[in-house]
Structure 1
Amino acid sequence: MPEMSCWMVTGERQASRIRSLYLKTILRQDVGFFDKEINTWEIVGRMSGDTVLIQEAMGEKVGTFIQLTATFVGGFVIAFIKGWLLTLVILSSIPLLVLSGAFMGILISKMASSGQTAYSVAATVVEQTIGSIRTVALFTGEKQAIANYNNSLIKAYNSGVQEGLASGFGMGSVMLIVMCSYALAIWFGGKMILEKGYTGGEVINVVFTVLTGSMSLGQASPCLSAFAAGQAAAYKMFETIDRKPEIDAYDTNGKQLHDIRGDIELKDVYFSYPARPDEQIFDGFSLSIPSGTTAALVGESGSGKSTVVSLIERFYDPLAGEVLIDGINLKEFQLKWIRQKIGLVSQEPVLFTCSTKDNIAYGKDGATTEEIRAAAELANAAKFVDKLPQGLDTMVGEHGTQLSGGQKQRIAIARAILKDPRILLLDEATSALDAESERIVQEALDRIMINRTTVFVAHRLSTVRNADTIAVIHRGTIVEKVHILILFK
């Protein structure tokens, strides 16, 4: 028992290390990886379900398998000593045992992999349903959600049935070969007594030691099933772990300057999204934004406005051309350092299920309470935060559901302000707000745009009138560029 406990602890430790390494690798990947190769709940499913399978394969089952294997080997060693000729004849069945066990292991591994994929799809359905429970309830989509979940489980059920059949037939084949071996042993043992002078005790000794060894081999079958399932789970996880991202967030190489001025230039850029490589977004796109100015990008949906923001943030790299900051190619900077100089506020602010303070503090490592409060003041968020039940320590709910749209947007602005970025990117930051909320948020934005290079995507005149330059984008091309300073200021 102590040995089993030791193996269990070792398995848990190794599974924890793999889980930690997997998460670290996932966070290292570029945005294109999440666009086309994996989804959220596939990651969660692997970290929760697959690591359990790996833990079983590396834990108690290893100790059990070693014990049963030692019993198998020891039994045949004793059998050879007591009657080598009879044991040699019985050994003729071993290749059949090995082949049936290997075939069973391959089938179980494939079925386990298919089942894990099916359960990942089912988990995605649950996540989407629970995460959007208000929408589901609004459209009375509960039955549809249950039907989708049940349909997702059908594949998992079929995989489980097939895995059980493979295990059953495999185990049955093993036991059939074992019993045939006993019949052969008894028949040949009788001949040895008559022809070679074996005693009955020696024959019984050989048969029982081979019997014990063979039964141990049969009992090792569940261990082999666990190893096969763990191998299938580990293969997927290590496939991701071994992946080298094109844009590496952990890469420590690259330039780190004392500071940047904030000059932005997109020079003859060609770009297509990884998930849609056949759809050309930019075909020789060029744009220049001087330091300290405010540029507005306007145009119809799908024209490429938000793509400009994604390229400046280096979520993606252009297929050709350059994205320059202060005349230096964005690829030459250390990614973590340059992203600390860029702030982003999106149309749909992402808040975490934690306190208001923690959501704002996410913008800067080691931020003090004074810095957080100052950022809230600049973002026009301090007044409503102080009115919350616990002030900055008030929980915002899942995805910020306890706050209004304008309040969430101001928290997101405060988070961006906290890092004091030289470049501020606003991707339709006020488009989803009512007139009053837009006015308050716009006041906050006007405060923080001073002495920064600001790029914002907008549709409303009230938003763009404070810009220095308006660039009209149509199908990935700038069709007009207007200096709005002359018109409104």
Structure 2
Amino acid sequence: MAREEWDSMGFHREGSKAEVYNIKGTEPATVSTLRREVSGGGKVVVAGCRERKSRIVRNRQGCEGVYIRIPRSNVVAHLVTKSLVSTILEPSRASPVYCRTIELELGFFSSNCYRIYRPKPEHLKTPKLWLAGFSKGIQEMHRKASLVLEDAVRNIYTVVAFCAGNKVMELYRLQLQKIFKQSFLHGMAIGFGFGFSQFLLFACNALLLWYTAYAVKNYYMDLPTALKEYMVFSFATFALVEPFGLAPYILKRRKSLISVFEIIDRVPKIDPDDHSALKPPNVYGSIELKNVDFSYPTRPEMLILSNFSLKVNGGQTVAVVGVSGSGKSTIISLIERFYDPVTGQVLLDGRDLKLFNLRWLRSHMGLVQQEPIIFSTTIRENIIYARHNASEAEMKEAARIANAHHFISSLPHGYDTHVGMRGVDLTPGQKQRIAIARVVLKNAPILLLDEASSSIESESSRVVQEALDTLIMGNKTTILIAHRAAMMKHVDNIVVLNGGRIVEEGAHDALMAKNGLYVRLMQPHFGKGIRQHRLI
């Protein structure tokens, strides 16, 4: 562990002599051993967080209904370091004898516990202790109180516009009142438990001292033997009493720990690491959805696609048009295999998508979503996210095609400009163009454009439209969710959805002649021509 990391945990150095919380007199060997064992505890934290993150990525399917309630990634860190290390190393209780005990107990926990025995969620659901009843619901109350403020901050302009600041604070105050009442009882219980543990500790020590003096006085044993036995029983007493002091912290975070191991032990419905799956050397790009029924896992009763069939030949461009909620974006999610259909098949080059290795499959698809996804790093890192071994020239060429090079070059740090959290320092149009540049750099044979030009401002829409036209005219299979009428001019086929079914299909001119739903969706608004109208 680096010295800075060690110091940040509360272990300080004074001159050349290491100390725990600057308490002098601690033996160097003790502190060295303690440092090594707590470093092992840090490895447990890292291993737990890494395993949890890996499982979240692998369990992508249906995450909307599962992970929205999962605690943040520092849960394990809080459990190991704050609940155990910080409590054990409390300044008022630190001593050479105490540190010797830590060497045995913390060393065993950090070095062996996670490796030898990784508890299952059901193992953590032990019978409720008397203290658990007091802490019931406090975490949920804190979560609800935090949600009130998070929603207000996230939608601050709406709150200010409707003068709802006092209402937000009143809601927050009501939540805090509930927390106060429950926390008072919880604090009383913790205080009683801690006081009882200290009473046992000192009472046992007093009894041991009395018996040691009595044994020496009556010549039952000599003084060295009596002192040795006193030290042994003193350590044993501490080991028996200390769980009473740690119980409140363990119970407080038990729910978080259960959630962590539920994620780790969850078997993914779609395994991206199935090495026995197919990885063909070539992709022709023929895509077919065959008699597909689909509903989202969080809403199984609502059928999004019903007996849906669509075929896109290799190199063909198909536009999908429809009213909101008709299943347009769902088609892209099925092709990317974010989800599997309830019934029916999704085929690539005549073979079911389930037969292909998932990582290989997605490496041959380029996706631009309706809401551009920008990471909290530099513009360069955001673009080369698609292909990390891309050269500088390739990256800049992709930015030029997406009409992003000009505005990037005008920034003070150019491609090394940090975009802020989720790209907050960029306009919606700039974020979308960076997302398009990322797909251009990937150069995948299959393009999935989910209203890719929705956030492009008017002054750059023409150039970006030309870039998209260049992509579409290339020898790539393209499925795009139509947003502007200008997108239709290079489309081979247009599919109109309504209620999860195809109601119209054909070329632009043929659909206009039918005077059906497609025509109604293309009607101009606010006096603008059809080429500028944005579809629903």
Q: TM-score, normalised by structure 2?
A: 0.71
Contact persistence 1:54–1:231 (CA under 8 A): no
1:107-136 deviations in whole A, cap 9, x for unaligned? 445666744444445555555544555555
1:202-221 deviations in whole A, cap 9, x for unaligned? 8xx9xx99899667744542
**Amino acid aligned to 1:36:** G
Contact persistence 1:105–1:228 (CA under 8 A): no
**Amino acid aligned to 1:320:** T
Structure 1 426/221 Cα, relative in aligned 2: closer, same or farther at 3 Å? Answer: same
Structure 1 308/219 Cα, relative in aligned 2: closer, same or farther at 3 Å? Answer: closer
RMSD: 4.1
Is 1:54 aligned to 2:84, yes or no? no
Is 1:464 aligned to 2:488, yes or no? yes
Q: Does 1 or 2 have the higher relative contact order (CA < 8 Å, sep 6+)?
A: 1
Identity of aligned residues (%): 35
Residue 407 (structure 1) aligns with: 430
**Amino acid aligned to 2:62:** G
Is 1:27 aligned to 2:57, yes or no? yes
Residue 67 (structure 2) aligns with: 38
Residue 523 (structure 2) aligns with: none
Question: Which piece of structure 1 moves more, 375-384 or 478-487?
Answer: 478-487
Q: Does the residue aligned with 2:266 lie in a helix, a strand or coil?
A: coil
Contact persistence 1:10–1:59 (CA under 8 A): no
Residue 310 (structure 1) aligns with: 333
Contact persistence 1:65–1:220 (CA under 8 A): no
Residue 222 (structure 1) aligns with: 245
Q: Does the residue aligned with 1:11 lie in a helix, a strand or coil?
A: helix
Structure 1 346/182 Cα, relative in aligned 2: closer, same or farther at 3 Å? Answer: closer
Q: Does the residue aligned with 1:465 lie in a helix, a strand or coil?
A: helix
Contact persistence 1:292–1:454 (CA under 8 A): yes
Residue 163 (structure 1) aligns with: 186
Structure 1 159/8 Cα, relative in aligned 2: closer, same or farther at 3 Å? Answer: farther
Which is helix-richer, 1 or 2?
Answer: 1
Q: TM-score, normalised by structure 1?
A: 0.77
Structure 1 29/215 Cα, relative in aligned 2: closer, same or farther at 3 Å? Answer: closer
Give matches, 1:74-223, under 5 Å: 106-109=129-132, 114-125=137-148, 127-151=150-174, 153=176, 157=180, 160-171=183-194, 217-223=240-246
Residue 375 (structure 1) aligns with: 398
**Amino acid aligned to 1:25:** R
1:410-436 deviations in whole A, cap 9, x for unaligned? 111101111111111111222344543
User: 409, 425, 443: which one pairs with 2:448?
Assistant: 425
**Amino acid aligned to 1:369:** E
Q: Distance in 1 between matches of 2:399 and 2:242?
A: 64
User: 15, 18, 21: which one pairs with 2:45?
Assistant: 15
Shift of 1:246: 0.7
Q: Does the residue aligned with 1:414 lie in a helix, a strand or coil?
A: helix
Contact persistence 1:113–1:233 (CA under 8 A): no
Q: Does the residue aligned with 1:249 lie in a helix, a strand or coil?
A: coil
Q: Distance in 2 between matches of 1:127 and 1:30?
A: 25
Q: Which runs of 5+ in 2 are unaligned?
A: 1-29, 90-96, 106-125, 221-225, 513-536
Contact persistence 1:265–1:286 (CA under 8 A): yes
Q: Distance in 1 between matches of 2:135 and 2:37?
A: 23
Contact persistence 1:14–1:55 (CA under 8 A): no
1:54-82 deviations in whole A, cap 9, x for unaligned? 334564749969949x99xxxxxxxxxxx
Q: Which runs of 5+ in 1 are unaligned?
A: 72-102, 194-198
Shift of 1:151: 5.0
Contact persistence 2:34–2:99 (CA under 8 A): no
Contact persistence 2:200–2:241 (CA under 8 A): no
Q: Does the residue aligned with 2:478 lie in a helix, a strand or coil?
A: strand
Residue 507 (structure 2) aligns with: 483
